[in-house]
Amino acid sequence: MPDFKYKATAVDGVISTGVIASKTRSEAYRTLRSRGLNPISVGESTGKVVADQAAQDPSQLVKLSTSQLLFFTEELAELLEAGLKLESALKVIEQRQEKSGIQPIAARLRQRVRDGFNFSAALQECNKTFDSLYCNLVAAGEASGALPQILKRQCAYLTLIEDLRRRVISSLLYPAIVFTSAIVLMFVFLTFLVPQLSVLLGKTGQKLPLITQLLISVSQFFAAWWWAVIALIGLVVLLVRAAVQTPAGRAWWHRSMLDLPVVGPVLRAKFYAEMLQTLSTLVSNGVALLQGLQLMINATSNVFLHDLLVKVSSMVGEGTSLANALRRVGFFPPVMMDILSVGEQTGDIGGALDRAARRFDRDLTTRIGHLTTLVQPAIILLVALFVGIVAYSMIAGILTSVSSLKAR
């Protein structure tokens, strides 16, 4: 019978170490628990660790990206549908040839499942990757015996949320690049090009046009005080960040983002689509509506929206229908309440949530199109206006100097 070296905590919190004889690692875990000890790690007495360090300590696990989480969920669902047991499916994922953060997480999960933990409880230990929504869906799948189907629905949900995120980012990426390029171009013009031109025009001794004089003055200021301008901008950024870190400042900023022109409607539509899709996934998989709202609250980072959902959850907990609760809060669009009211009257709230989610997903696509259509030309026009002013100022000064030379 092999010996296992263990490290465990007692009820009073004292950490103890020792060696225990046991047939298997799982039996060693059970024996330690029967003695009132909470195992931290169990390894062979020869010093070989039963699982790697990351599999023994959840804090060492790397958080999976959304694409990696989607791949893990999809592969696990396919393996379970093929008839493999949960532990065997996790072992297959653990033994994948491609090296990534998936293997240590699969090893950790398989270890905990072999120790007798529920899969949902094992997932909760890896909370860097698996949030409460994911864990509760898995728990519902374990209770209903439909874990593969739940995981496939979770794949669809993760795909949708990732698609929403990518569409919003892609719509803002090009304008951000153009705007940054405009700032760099402005800095180069005012710091390097215009000072050289001012020296050349100053040699003519002629009075320059007012717009050229203003451009030269601004350029001289930036050339002499560029470090102060950068320091001032940095100080303002730090002060704004410090103010936003306060509860009142964070609430004001999160509320203001939703009221920004052009961008605000996109953020609202994104929140509506994500909220409805999340609730639809939860309710369709057997999670109670009130519990789904509470899970949605925990997953909402916007303080203003978080407070709104807390009010909605409180009303629903008191017996108010979801549509009426949303109506009383006053932030949500009437079309959402109309769709949900029909679902509540027909008893198909899950279907109503899904229809509303698809409705606002289309709305988000439309608003992203508007954002792309409006913001990109606006930024390009702003850049063209700046370049045009600089070019006109330079050309006007050059023409004035040339005209004076011809007159001589």
Last residue of a domain, one of 34, 50, 66: 50
> Would 142 be classed as within a structural domain?
no
**3-state helix, strand and coil shares in percent for the chain, rounded to the nearest 5:** 75, 5, 20
Q: Find residue 19's DSSP bridge partners.
A: 5
Nearest to 278 by CA among 350, 213, 230, 194: 350
Structure tokens at 20: 């225990």
Question: Which of 130, 148, 168 delimits the end of a domain?
Answer: 130
- Give just the sign of the alpha carbon dihedral 251, 257, 258, 260: positive
Task: Please check whether residue 143 lies inside any domain of the structure.
Answer: no
Span 157-165, average pLDDT: 75
The confidence band for 236, taking pLDDT boundaries of 50, 70 and 90, is: very high
> Do 308 and 407 belong together in one domain?
yes
100 and 28 in a common domain: no
If one compares 227 and 372, the residue with the highest pLDDT of the two is 227
Same domain, yes or no, for 33 and 83? no
Alpha helices in 82-204 (DSSP H): 86-94, 102-114, 119-125, 132-144, 147-188, 194-202
Task: Say if 146 falls within a structural domain.
Answer: no
Identify whether residues 199 and 110 lie together within a single domain.
no
Between the alpha carbon of residue 155 and those of residues 2, 139, 282, 374, the distances in Å are 42, 16, 13, 34
Residues 61, 101 within the same domain: yes
One domain, residues 14 and 94: no
Tell whether the model's pLDDT for residue 405 goes beyond 60.
no
pLDDT confidence of residue 232: 92
Q: What is the DSSP string of 284-329?
A: HTT--HHHHHHHHHHT---HHHHHHHHHHHHHHHTT--HHHHHHHH
At residue 407, the pLDDT reads: 52
Q: What is the value of pTM for the model shown?
A: 0.60
278 lies in some domain: yes
Residue 136 is assigned to a structural domain of this protein? no
Residue 2: what pLDDT? 65
Confidence of residue 47 (pLDDT cuts 50, 70, 90): very low
3-state secondary structure of 59: helix
For residues 386 and 274, state if they share a domain. yes
Judgement on whether residues 299 and 325 belong to the same structural domain of the protein: yes
> What angle, rounded to 10 degrees, do the helices at 210-245 and 349-407 form?
150
In a domain, 339, yes or no: yes
**Tens digits of per-residue pLDDT, 338-366?**
898 988 888 888 888 888 888 888 887 78
Does pLDDT of 6 surpass 80? no
Note whether 297 and 168 are same-domain residues: yes
Backbone angles phi, psi at 271, to 5 degrees: -65, -45
Q: Are residues 76 and 98 in the same domain?
A: yes
Answer yes or no: is pLDDT of 54 > 50. no
Domain span including residue 378: 159-408
Segment 46-62 mean pLDDT: 49
Higher per-residue confidence, 4 vs 261: 261
> How many Å apart are CA 212 and CA 136, to the nearest integer?
66
Model confidence at 51: pLDDT above 60:
no
CA distances from 289 to 84, 140, 269, 292 (A): 32, 13, 21, 5
User: In this structure, is residue 264 part of a structural domain?
Assistant: yes
Query: How many domains would you assign to the chain?
Result: 3
- Both 170 and 61 in one domain: the answer is no
Asked whether 272 and 296 are in contact (CB, 8 A), the reply is no
- Residue 376 is assigned to a structural domain of this protein: yes
Whole-Å CA distances, 381 to 111, 175, 318, 402: 59, 12, 53, 31
Helices and strands counted in the chain (H then E): 17, 3
CATH number at residue 238: 1.20.81.30
User: Can you give the pLDDT at residue 235?
Assistant: 93
Tell me what pLDDT residue 50 has.
38
13 and 63: one domain? no
Could you give the CA distance from residue 371 to residue 19 in angstroms, rounded to a whole number? 64
